[in-house]
Amino acid sequence: MWKQLKRVSIPVFTGNKRNYQSWKAAFLACIDQAPAKKEYKLLQLIQYVEGEALQVTENLGHSAVAYDAAKDRLERKYGGQRRQITLNMEELENFKPMREGFAKDIEKFADLLDIAVVNLKEAGRFEELKNGSLYNKLQRKMTESMLSRYHRWIFESGKIESVECLREWILQEAEFQTIASETIHGLSANTSSNSQRNYKGNRRDGFRTFFGESQNEEYTRNRDSIKHLCKCCNSHHGVWRQCPRSRACNLGGCKEVHNRLLHRDKQSFSEPKVPVRTESKTKQNYATEEKEDTAAPTEGESKDRTMIGRDRKSNFVTPRTVPVILKNGNRTINVNALLDDASMKTYINADVATELGLQGQVQKVTISVLNDNVETFETMPVEVRLQSHNGQTDAKIVAFTTNHVTGSLQPVDWKQHAWKWEHLAGIKFPNLGQRPTVDMLIGLDYPDLHYSYRDIRGKPGEPIARQMPLGWKWIRDPNSEQEQTLFNRTYFARGQENQNDLDNIVRKFWKSKMSKHQAKTYF
């Protein structure tokens, strides 16, 4: 019966340390334990190694002693339990953080963790399986919701935190996530959202779809053939010139090859005899230098105008950012806050809340975004004490945690720009926070913080300083007075008949498309 089994094929080892253990197991089972001489086994060994691994064994000779030495060399350079554990640790460290709702991520992480725990136990390194650095690294690969469920499981089961407990929970979570995914999407790989699309909404088969939606099968099957359809008859017949419908127009003696619907008399394309007007209206803040031909334009010619000017930046109203002090017990941190009248709630970055040691109960919040879409994310309401730098404001507020509440918005240091205007010289603007980003958004749930005590204005167009409960702030771009030189611009003026402008553009577009296709086919 054993003779009917399929023969085991031994892979070729090229020197990749990750593949050594599997190659070694196959070689020992098929060749090393075979009833043959060691000289013959050495020849077989050389046959199944190449590259760097072949250089290790090729100069040892062809004796029985050389066979034992070759195995020892390969084991010393590529094998060993220490090296295998190091490779497993590298795979765990290089593993990207898991994504919410992706069962494949949890399955892969569970497999890597299971292998690492088994290898550490075999090596007798039980200290690393306790609550240490490895345990903390593994927790960083999990999402916030997974981490909260894991700690709740630890609390309810009364277990001690360790790598083995994390492994046990991950294996259960991977099984439950797989059951949920198969129940919703089915067992077929084609219907699984995780297997067909990545987290950016693009299909993994190389066909990128709009908004991550898959096209119908008929369009996907024929998308390559659609590109080669004839522009005249919309069919497949090879060379475009051989199309029976690509004949001369013959309307009014026209010899061009195009559809008769695209025909137009040549005189309609001629330039109007009315002189071209070249006056140009410029903005008031442009200081223009014009160079213009004095000769009157003739029929069929276009008139050019070159303008070199200096333009100011468009007025940009800076967001209302102000540095504040956040306190929680003995912990204090200076951050930059954004006063947003359009928000109904107050938010704070999750990393700032963690640094202050703020805690709360995790909640799911549903918000409406563009295009009637709804997004749900997890947040945690936390209570923190908010103070101004001048000491006039001290209040307890409740903020919701989130990641990057203002994106990459950066505050402006008003002290570096106040000297530019006389009416702002005596105002003491507060120092910016420790971080170069805006980490807090104060909404209309605290309207008293948006109140304006007084405004200090200068000349029209100059910045305005506003005193608020949280301190002084600035309105308007601090670099608004800087000018920049524009590129040289050349304008081409050309007249057309007003009544047929759209018709001319469409006809010229079709002629251009057909001429390009004709040139490609001929080439």
| Same-domain check for residues 329 and 461 | yes
Q: How many residues does the chain have?
A: 523
Whole-angstrom Cα distance, residue 375 to residue 390? 39
In the prediction, which pLDDT does 293 show? 44
| Same-domain check for residues 442 and 497 | no
| Same-domain check for residues 467 and 351 | yes
In the prediction, which pLDDT does 373 show? 78
3-state SS of 371-401 is HHCEEEEEECEEEEEEECCCCCCEEEEEEEE
| Same-domain check for residues 325 and 471 | yes
CB 351 within 8 A of CB 292: no
| Same-domain check for residues 339 and 453 | yes
Widest Cα–Cα separation across the chain: 104
In the prediction, which pLDDT does 198 show? 46
In the prediction, which pLDDT does 194 show? 46
DSSP E strand boundaries for 52-157: none
| Same-domain check for residues 326 and 264 | no
Nearest to 173 by CA among 93, 85, 98: 98
| Same-domain check for residues 110 and 215 | no
Is residue 482 included in any domain, yes or no? Answer: no
Nearest to 144 by CA among 357, 345, 381, 380: 380
The domain of 208 spans 197-226
| Same-domain check for residues 155 and 260 | no
| Same-domain check for residues 440 and 338 | yes
CB 438 within 8 A of CB 406: yes
Whole-angstrom Cα distance, residue 236 to residue 386? 72
Is residue 304 included in any domain, yes or no? Answer: no
Per run of 10 residues, the mean pLDDT along the chain (length 523 residues) is 68 79 81 83 83 80 83 80 76 82 81 82 80 83 86 86 86 83 71 44 45 47 55 59 66 73 58 44 42 45 52 54 86 86 85 86 76 79 87 86 80 68 71 79 84 76 76 61 48 51 70 55 43
Looking up tokens 């001369």 gives 248
Is residue 33 included in any domain, yes or no? Answer: yes
Looking up tokens 């088969």 gives 205
| Same-domain check for residues 267 and 346 | no
CB 86 within 8 A of CB 62: no
Structure tokens at 21: 């253990």
| Same-domain check for residues 248 and 380 | no
Of the three residues 25, 48, 79, the one that is the final residue of a domain is 79
Radius of gyration of the chain (CA): 37
CB 178 within 8 A of CB 130: no
Nearest to 192 by CA among 210, 206, 177: 177
Is residue 133 included in any domain, yes or no? Answer: yes
In the prediction, which pLDDT does 415 show? 65
* Helix, coil or strand: residue 112: helix
Q: How many domains does the chain have?
A: 5
Whole-angstrom Cα distance, residue 348 to residue 324? 12
